[in-house]
Amino acid sequence: LAKTTQPISMDSYEGQEVNITCSHNNIATNDYITWYQQFPSQGPRFIIQGYKTKVTNEVASLFIPADRKSSTLSLPRVSLSDTAVYYCLVGDSGGYQKVTFGTGTKLQVIP
Amino acid sequence: NAGVTQTPKFQVLKTGQSMTLQCAQDMNHEYMSWYRQDPGMGLRLIHYSVGAGITDQGEVPNGYNVSRSTTEDFPLRLLSAAPSQTSVYFCASRTYGGTNEKLFFGSGTQLSVL
């Protein structure tokens, strides 16, 4: 799997838009980019996945530039309940086996 | 739908004891895996399986055994528990070989080894 680099932590006030960027310089042609969210004392849960350009769902948006060497998870108008750790993973959606997580980005939303 | 079910939720062991952490999924997923998460750390892959009868090691396999006799179950065995194995353990599953694959995680087992 391609190695990823994310900020260790971020703070944001409630109601603001939060952008978390992940670097993955060695991304391969077949690799997809997937983001997970983990609340304390819970297992991670899938947020969004993309291959190129922009993907949007009811929770977040994912922006991927043309060179795909980075990606940005965008959370609109965060609330206190968005306080969590966010993980960026890069891998071949066709069946990669050793799915490894980095340390993620700890987002703290401040009232 | 139950998804991924882990038992027990909490367990305390003495050094040298053995135990099995249970994981079951009802989504007919081929791929299953075990992770451990230490305080303030990310998840580290212990073992994984891409189908019944097929298992392989992850990043931190020492001290743990696994087997996969059915598609639904993927137990994790600690043969002789050590304090260094105190951690939260997560089981996960997903489809294998398709597109838009995502991992589904259980709620975790908090293990303390004294």
Band (B101; pLDDT cuts 50, 70, 90): confident
Query: Which residues are registered as beta bridge partners of B91?
Result: B34
- Looking at residue B1, its pLDDT comes to 65
Identify the pLDDT of residue B97: 62
Residues 2-21 of B with CB under 8 A from A: 4
Question: What mean pLDDT is predicted for residues B78-98?
Answer: 90
Which of A48, A99, A105, A108 is the best mutation test for B, with the most CBs of B within 10 A? A99
Chain B hits for A100, CB-CB cut-off 8 Å, are: 43-45, 58-59
A98 reaches B (C-beta below 8 A): yes
In this prediction, residue A26 has a pLDDT band, given cuts at 50, 70 and 90, of: confident
Residue A96's pLDDT band (cuts 50, 70, 90): low
More confident residue, A50 or A103: A50
pLDDT (0 to 100) of residue A47: 94
Which residues 45-64 of B have a C-beta within 8 angstroms of A? 45, 48, 50, 56, 58-59
How close, in Å, is residue B56 to chain A by CA atoms?
Answer: 9
pLDDT score for A60: 96
CA dist A72 → A36, B46, B101 (Å): 13, 29, 20
Taking only the tens place, the pLDDT of each residue in B13-58 is 999 999 999 999 999 999 999 999 998 888 899 999 989 999 999 9
CA A11/CA A110 separation, integer angstroms: 7
d(CA A73, CA A55) in angstroms, rounded, equals: 10
**Which of A98, A99, A103 is nearest residue B41 as measured by Cβ atoms?**
A103
- Strand, coil or helix: A19: strand
Which pairing describes strands B87-94 and B109-113: parallel, antiparallel, or unpaired? antiparallel
Which pLDDT band, with edges at 50, 70 and 90, does A102 fall under? Answer: confident
What pLDDT band is residue A2 in, cutting at 50, 70 and 90? low
B45·A100 Cβ contact <8 A: yes
pLDDT of residue A91: 76
Judged by CB atoms closer than 8 Å, whether chains meet at B42 and A101 is answered as yes
Nearest-angstrom CA–CA distance, A8 and A80: 19
CA triple B47-B93-A50, angle to 5 deg: 110
Distance CA A22, CA A24 (A): 7
**Would you give the end-to-end CA distance of chain A in angstroms?**
37
Chain A window 25-64: which residues touch B at a Cβ cutoff of 8 Å?
32, 34, 36, 41-46, 49
**Phi and psi of A83, rounded to 5°?**
-60, 115
A·B CB contacts under 8 A: 66
Assess contact for B86 and B15: CB atoms under 8 A.
no
| Residue with the larger pLDDT of the pair B86 and B96 | B86
Map tokens 């960027």 to a residue: A21
Is B48's CB within 8 Å of A99's CB? yes
Q: Report the amino acid identity of residue B43.
A: L
Alpha-carbon distance B16 to nearest alpha carbon in chain A (angstroms)? 26
* pLDDT computed for residue B112 by the predictor: 97
DSSP lists the bridge partners of residue B113 as B13
Alpha helices, H only, chain B: none
Of all residues in chain A, the percent with pLDDT exceeding 70 is: 92
> Letter for the amino acid at B106?
G
Q: Tell me which amino acid residue A58 is.
A: E
